[in-house]
Amino acid sequence: MGDTINVGLIGYKFMGKAHSFAYKNVSMFFDTPLKPRMKLLCGRDEKGVKAAAEKFGWEGYVTSWKDLVSRDDIDMVDITAPSDAHKDIAIAAAEAGKHVFCEKPLALTLSDAREILKAVEKSGVKHMIGFNYRRAPAVQLIKKLIDEGKLGRIFHFRGFYLQDWIIDPEFPLVWRLQKEVAGSGSLGDLGAHLIDMARYLVGEFDEVMGMNETFVKERPMVSEMTGLSGKAAEGAPKAPVNVDDATLFLFKFKNGALGIIEATRFATGHKNGMWFEINGSKGSVRFEFERMNELQYYSVDDPEGVQGFRTIQVSEPVHAYMQAWWPAGHVIGYENTFVHEIYEFIKAISEDKLPEPNFYDGVKCQEVLTAVDTSIEQRQWIKVDEV
Amino acid sequence: MGDTINVGLIGYKFMGKAHSFAYKNVSMFFDTPLKPRMKLLCGRDEKGVKAAAEKFGWEGYVTSWKDLVSRDDIDMVDITAPSDAHKDIAIAAAEAGKHVFCEKPLALTLSDAREILKAVEKSGVKHMIGFNYRRAPAVQLIKKLIDEGKLGRIFHFRGFYLQDWIIDPEFPLVWRLQKEVAGSGSLGDLGAHLIDMARYLVGEFDEVMGMNETFVKERPMVSEMTGLSGKAAEGAPKAPVNVDDATLFLFKFKNGALGIIEATRFATGHKNGMWFEINGSKGSVRFEFERMNELQYYSVDDPEGVQGFRTIQVSEPVHAYMQAWWPAGHVIGYENTFVHEIYEFIKAISEDKLPEPNFYDGVKCQEVLTAVDTSIEQRQWIKVDEV
Amino acid sequence: MGDTINVGLIGYKFMGKAHSFAYKNVSMFFDTPLKPRMKLLCGRDEKGVKAAAEKFGWEGYVTSWKDLVSRDDIDMVDITAPSDAHKDIAIAAAEAGKHVFCEKPLALTLSDAREILKAVEKSGVKHMIGFNYRRAPAVQLIKKLIDEGKLGRIFHFRGFYLQDWIIDPEFPLVWRLQKEVAGSGSLGDLGAHLIDMARYLVGEFDEVMGMNETFVKERPMVSEMTGLSGKAAEGAPKAPVNVDDATLFLFKFKNGALGIIEATRFATGHKNGMWFEINGSKGSVRFEFERMNELQYYSVDDPEGVQGFRTIQVSEPVHAYMQAWWPAGHVIGYENTFVHEIYEFIKAISEDKLPEPNFYDGVKCQEVLTAVDTSIEQRQWIKVDEV
Amino acid sequence: MGDTINVGLIGYKFMGKAHSFAYKNVSMFFDTPLKPRMKLLCGRDEKGVKAAAEKFGWEGYVTSWKDLVSRDDIDMVDITAPSDAHKDIAIAAAEAGKHVFCEKPLALTLSDAREILKAVEKSGVKHMIGFNYRRAPAVQLIKKLIDEGKLGRIFHFRGFYLQDWIIDPEFPLVWRLQKEVAGSGSLGDLGAHLIDMARYLVGEFDEVMGMNETFVKERPMVSEMTGLSGKAAEGAPKAPVNVDDATLFLFKFKNGALGIIEATRFATGHKNGMWFEINGSKGSVRFEFERMNELQYYSVDDPEGVQGFRTIQVSEPVHAYMQAWWPAGHVIGYENTFVHEIYEFIKAISEDKLPEPNFYDGVKCQEVLTAVDTSIEQRQWIKVDEV
């Protein structure tokens, strides 16, 4: 590969744009051992993919992912297509010897996810999954505090992922609301991020017990999609919604800590409200994505009488990734987490290491998702290791 | 009774002091049709109760609640003794024709609670239970918004009650940690407040599913108690803790809304962190007791582009109870909720009405507590109406 | 006096009610060496004062302050009458050998204030002035941090006192808007609190430079007053407003720190928004009255990477006054600051010490107010020591 | 120019990097009528500028700005060099017929600023000045609210710009602390942003009155600079600091509103704490850069009893610029304000319009800076129109 790495990206909507941004900017801010070359963009609609390729800065485009995966001049394949396409592409890319980045969720089902993992392990390529929130500097700081024992023994994890974009019953049936394409509703889309966060920061799940609801049972069929949203034609027929609008579950970690996760698209007033708190014997932390540059941290090591949750502006050179950006207090945004993620992937490839989170983490997350679904169906606690 | 009402109070520790404050001040701030006369304080330790009676302003004291309940010159009995004493006192007071105020939880068991309710209903006295948080002006404002339809159809209730006072394994086995006296740990003490809040604001519970944990399995036996806390003698023997340190449960309301409640005494950094949020189709509200003068409110009726959670300083004359206190912006505290509560009780007595929340609410809360405990034991969903 | 102290209170409106509350409750929560006896309330309107005396719990009432001051059975006189009455009452009380508590501002003019101070010093009675915000536990914590050197060398004090109750041009000309009665507008009423806070926490003022504005030049004459507010009769004639709606000033402390104070009644959305921040070489603190139970504190002594403003819930037993109230996290309100204040006064009297803040502090505050007014008139910097 | 515009950028440190980012990304997110081509980067140190050009994506580099300005294939010149270089470059660029973007402050002195303005007006090129905070979506929303009359008559503007990076007396004498190079200290660097904000949102300044301080009088001479910071060699000699560490000033707007601005680098705990609030007769707004995606807004048009400052997540498609980025709730960062700024400049050029803020705004800001300095020197109020 020399000192560049040729990238092929599949998908050019919300996630495809975010990934394009990352490839475009990563080497400007970080010392990447390999410089990504934005070689090929793939999308099914030729007009759309052509315009996107030009706008985002890709050298070329194709309309079939098979053409992309089979190209000799592609070193890594990045998959941001809808979830139902992940499996075939990822396995084909692995078999073609390409490094693979895949957006979450890894697959529609746990068995598919395990097949994908098997494929990349067999071929020996590097693989990474898009749990980008791990790469917020504030989350890195939490990880550091926990690893250093600053929170002590952990008792509680509580997390919500709250959005409100589909409360209107006239909001159309976009792909994220179709089980065949998305695999899952609020749980797989939003809950998956919190499951990964809990695993990353606290540990593996032991057992889970969930409930869910679809508040709006049917919606107008969609005719045109834009971003997360879409439009239904005037008088469009309605079709049943077969994914969950909201899912909540209780769980225990293997280390004895208790957890609760709630994922919903029916929390009026919350746009992208990912929030979680961890309580340990020596301290607590709290993070809210909409204030992603801040971390709330309470330490029992502070002197008596002046203990309190402190708001840390996680933007100093000492904080993960922040040396690369701006002086302290000059906040960064959502898209920067993708830059960090791609930086980690490229670094791992160049160092011949497996980055984190990778497809193993994708499978572990899927196990929890599956266990939650099973617990809801069977109305009982489910051991995650037994799914 | 003329224009005064003679009060007998049982208990003079944390709750007894708060109630004494309420009787002492209620007529200074509110136009009470009856003026409470602080007649008699009751406590088992003569030295302690005598000192408290003098300090709090009670005219006399007794050391046996039977002496208090049987006195002709007592019109109402207020019970703030430990939970295991509630039943006998409440029933005796009802039988003696006294109005009864009882701190939560109403009793140690659901059947006891039902017996108490039967007794007051039989005797026809007025009764009230101490869910004082209902009487925070901000909570009254939530109730008003919901009753007026400002939140629309309700989808979610999520509540935590977070404290951290017993994390130290050397913290002694005070009565609140003994099942025989307290009936329950975090669930009955903290969770009960949230259950009442959910019932008050959203509606009755359909089914529940919980989990709990006792993180510290045994503790030194206590030799002296003060406030919530206590001291163990040097080298005191340890005894098992038989109540829950933390309880979490999922639930469904009869109206279809989803709920989650978490009560824990192991949330480092939280002192009295009662927090809840309600999401409806037209708006959301959020309340945090440690900022009890504030309400967070989001309304979809606000103009597009300027919607957001607003922080309402609930201290204007237009807000419940606030006309009685100070000019807008001059915040009130925890103890004032007891003044409001006692005001409501006295007003109801004088108007020959049943106040709210009353023992019926105590029983309904106990049903949920029992259902949660059962769901934990049986590891399955429990219908609240079937306990 | 034995173990009680007989109190005579002049005024029964907003401040009179707050002081009555304090006398009524102080011995319930604090071990007061002397127990205040609520002997006599004074007000000009007999019907009003009689009703207030009964409601607040005073044993008797008079309609002339001279009758109160001259009574043998009064040990201390508490003045909450409008500001123009302070001087005569305070001097008469001192001459009659009564201890004197006076609400701020001490007098209408600096020379009056100095006369009052001379009178109490001559007679040797104890005296205190009502800068009650000093007695918020969070402010006591700031004082402690500064005294212990935790903020290091102080560079900045910035304070606002923001209200919005007179923005409506139809709001009537209540006494607080009449120079003859109130002495001053926003500056004397609101700014005075911040001046005292700055002196208490940072040090004496060196020089000041101000500006002010009266946004609404004339208002309807008032016919009836209630609390801070009042009513104008339909079609009431208008009269000019001769006090400031807003005053801002820059200042230097004698120790070299810089300061800014803004006091305004034209800050829409702020009810009682007293806010200040102090920056020192080792740390910063921030306080906001509407969240009076919290203190924001930043310390450079915290480890690198986890520094931040921490929100301290100033409600733990270790915090000033809080042992007397409730368990940690159970917040207190505005009126409790008066309880603390009266506690300090009674304690000082019983120990034969001069409490703080006393009339000397009242005079020093008045010097700054006068200097600010002079700087506005003369449009130049004014040395506070030279007024 | 066809459909591209060739850019030459002078400076590659903090601001140069931010501008490079903007050119690199603007056409990916916005429909720019002209696409910027990153033609030429200029810096005095060849090794440094060469590395930066490569890293940031510039096609070439030069070490003399004269070479850049005189190049035929450059359409616009962007000046991010230290302030003392602005004048010569800007005038030369204007004379060469290039459009000019200049970082703030426009020049070291008011007369220089006026000369620059004259030059661009004479040559007829487009010009813009780097008050990038105007381009935060939340600030655009404030502007919109004010223009629509939502705040009513404005009474108050209060703004701080708080930083803490030079409190350590051993922090070296970087160029920002040298009057010859920077022109000014905290006032010109930080205060200038607030002056522009006040002018943009409220109106022109009438008169000002300031004070300032240099808390640390001398500092070690710098040997190496990085970002805002730098290093002094071991035992480096000290030299006097001749700029202000902190400047505060009072002012009146021509429309009668009152203002206060404080700029300091000695506010411990604040990294990039630009904060301001505006109070009007119908509403108030509050903005804090470290939470740049949020706006606090209070409206008296809200129903009685539910008025409060609402936290608007300014990230919905309806908000300025946000349609171009991510779905609602996905926050953006500091660097995105530069993308918006450059987008506005390019759009104005293509439409043959003068963008805002331009050099006229630079001159107006400089007038205020000069008036403040004069008021400090002369210790009296200074009319801005008379400097």
Which of D272, D330, D332, D336 is best to mutate for the A interface (most A CBs within 10 A)? D330
Residue B232: its pLDDT value, please?
83
Residue indicated by tokens 């996810």: A113
Residue A183: its pLDDT value, please?
83
Q: What is the pLDDT of residues D261-302, one digit of tens each?
A: 999 999 999 999 999 999 999 999 999 999 999 999 999 999
Among D297, D299, D305, beta carbon nearest to B141: D305
Cα A106 to Cα A96, A255, A343, D34: the distances in Å are 19, 26, 20, 40
- Reply yes or no on whether the pLDDT at D143 is more than 60: yes
* Cα B207 to chain centroid, rounded: 22
Contact C283, C152 (CB under 8 A): yes
Among D297, D304, D306, beta carbon nearest to B297: D306
Q: D298-317: b or e for each residue (b if 16 or more CB lie within 10 Å)?
A: bbbebeebbbbbbbbbbbbe
> Is C307 in CB contact (< 8 Å) with chain D?
yes
Q: Which helix (H) or strand (E) holds B38?
A: strand B35-42
Checking DSSP bridges between strand C246-253 and strand C205-213, what pairing results, if any?
antiparallel
- Rounded to 10°, the helix B110-123/B86-95 angle is 10
Residue B35: its pLDDT value, please?
96
Higher-confidence residue of C376 and A229: namely: C376
- Reply yes or no on whether the pLDDT at D310 is more than 60: yes
Contact A45, A12 (CB under 8 A): no
Residue D223: its pLDDT value, please?
81
Selection from B52, B138, B112 nearest residue B337 by Cα: B138
Residue A227: its pLDDT value, please?
67
Taken in order C126, C132, C135, C139, the sign of the CA dihedral is negative
Q: Work out the pLDDT band at D1, boundaries 50, 70, 90.
A: low
**Mean pLDDT value across residues D349-364:** 98
Selection from A25, A22, A58 nearest residue A42 by Cα: A58
Q: Which of residues 236-295 of D touch C (CB under 8 A)?
A: 246, 248-250, 252, 256, 258, 260, 262, 264, 266-270, 279-284
Contact A144, A300 (CB under 8 A): no
Residue B366: its pLDDT value, please?
97
Selection from B129, B198, B167, B163 nearest residue B359 by Cα: B129
Q: What is the pLDDT of residues A363-375, one digit of tens each?
A: 999 999 999 999 9
**Mean pLDDT value across residues A79-103:** 97
Distance to chain D for B227, nearest Cα, Å: 36
Which of A271, A296, A316, A339 is best to mutate for the D interface (most D CBs within 10 A)? A271
> Is C316 in CB contact (< 8 Å) with chain A?
yes
Q: Which helix (H) or strand (E) holds D339?
A: helix D334-350
Among C167, C250, C307, beta carbon nearest to D250: C250
Cα C181 to Cα C86, C248, C376, D134: the distances in Å are 10, 22, 21, 46
Under DSSP, is residue C176 helix (H, G, I), strand (E, B) or coil? helix
Mean pLDDT, all residues of chain C: 96
Q: D21: which chain A residues are within 8 Å (Cβ-Cβ)?
A: 25, 28
Under DSSP, is residue B81 helix (H, G, I), strand (E, B) or coil? coil
Higher-confidence residue of A229 and B290: namely: B290
**CB distance C246–D210 less than 8 Å?**
no
Residue A1: its pLDDT value, please?
55
* Cα C339 to chain centroid, rounded: 14
Residue indicated by tokens 């705990």: D269
Distance to chain C for B380, nearest Cα, Å: 35
**Mean pLDDT value across residues A69-90:** 96
Contact A298, A283 (CB under 8 A): yes
Q: Say how many C-beta atoms besides its own lie within 10 A of residue B27's C-beta.
A: 21
Mean pLDDT, all residues of chain D: 96
Q: What is the pLDDT of residues B334-345, one digit of tens each?
A: 999 999 999 999
CATH code of the domain made up of D4-133? 3.40.50.720
Q: Work out the pLDDT band at A263, boundaries 50, 70, 90.
A: very high
- Reply yes or no on whether the pLDDT at A291 is more than 90: yes
Distance to chain A for D260, nearest Cα, Å: 23
Residue C223: its pLDDT value, please?
82
Residues listed for chain C: 387
Q: Work out the pLDDT band at A279, boundaries 50, 70, 90.
A: very high
- Reply yes or no on whether the pLDDT at B28 is more than 60: yes
**Mean pLDDT value across residues D81-90:** 95
Radius of gyration over every alpha carbon of chain C, rounded to an integer in angstroms: 21
Domain boundaries for CATH 3.40.50.720 within chain C:
4-133
**Can you tell me the distance from the alpha carbon of B18 to that of A183, in angstroms, rounded to the nearest whole number?**
54
SS3 letters for C219-237? Answer: EEECCEEECCEEECCCCCC
Q: What is the pLDDT of residues C202-242, one digit of tens each?
A: 999 999 999 999 999 999 998 877 767 778 888 889 999 99
Residue C181: its pLDDT value, please?
84
Q: A191: which chain B residues are within 8 Å (Cβ-Cβ)?
A: none
**Can you tell me the distance from the alpha carbon of D175 to that of D164, in angstroms, rounded to the nearest whole number?**
17
* Cα B245 to chain centroid, rounded: 19
Q: What is the pLDDT of residues C324-366, one digit of tens each?
A: 999 999 999 999 999 999 999 999 999 999 999 999 999 999 9
Vertex A289: Cα angle to A286 and A293 (nearest 5) = 80
The DSSP symbol for D385 reads G
Cross-strand pairs, A127: A100
- Reply yes or no on whether the pLDDT at A92 is more than 80: yes
Q: Work out the pLDDT band at A91, boundaries 50, 70, 90.
A: very high
Among A297, A305, A311, beta carbon nearest to C141: A305
Residue C1: its pLDDT value, please?
55
Contact D125, D253 (CB under 8 A): no
The DSSP symbol for A271 reads S
Mean pLDDT, all residues of chain A: 96
Q: Say how many C-beta atoms besides its own lie within 10 A of residue D55's C-beta.
A: 17
- Phi then psi for B53, rounded to 5 degrees? -55, -45
Higher-confidence residue of B60 and B183: namely: B60
* Cα C299 to chain centroid, rounded: 29
Of the listed ranges C52-56, D150-154, D233-237, the least confidently predicted one is: D233-237
Quick one: residue A321, left, alpha or beta (phi over 0 = left, psi -120 to 50 = alpha)? Answer: left
**Can you tell me the distance from the alpha carbon of A153 to that of A281, in angstroms, rounded to the nearest whole number?**
5
Residue indicated by tokens 């009502």: C130
The DSSP line for B81-95 is S-GGGHHHHHHHHHH
Contact A333, D336 (CB under 8 A): yes
Q: What is the ipTM of this complex?
A: 0.96
Residue D235: its pLDDT value, please?
85
CATH superfamily of D137-291+293-332+365-378: Dihydrodipicolinate Reductase; domain 2 (3.30.360.10)
Q: C333: which chain B residues are within 8 Å (Cβ-Cβ)?
A: 293, 330-333, 336
Contact A368, A110 (CB under 8 A): no
Number of Cβ pairs closer than 8 Å across B and C?
108
End-to-end CA, chain C: 41
Contact B153, B382 (CB under 8 A): no
Contact D327, A228 (CB under 8 A): yes
Residue D318: its pLDDT value, please?
96
Joined tokens for residue B184: 């329950």
Residue A182: its pLDDT value, please?
83
CA contacts within 13 A on the Cβ side of B283 = 24
> Is D318 in CB contact (< 8 Å) with chain B?
yes
Residue indicated by tokens 């989350």: A139
Q: A308: which chain B residues are within 8 Å (Cβ-Cβ)?
A: 269
Domain boundaries for CATH 3.30.360.10 within chain B:
137-291+293-332+365-378
Contact C156, C279 (CB under 8 A): yes
Joined tokens for residue A339: 């830059």
Strands (E), chain A: 4-10, 35-42, 60-62, 76-79, 99-102, 127-129, 154-162, 205-213, 218-220, 224-226, 229-231, 238-240, 246-253, 258-264, 273-280, 283-288, 294-299, 309-313, 382-383
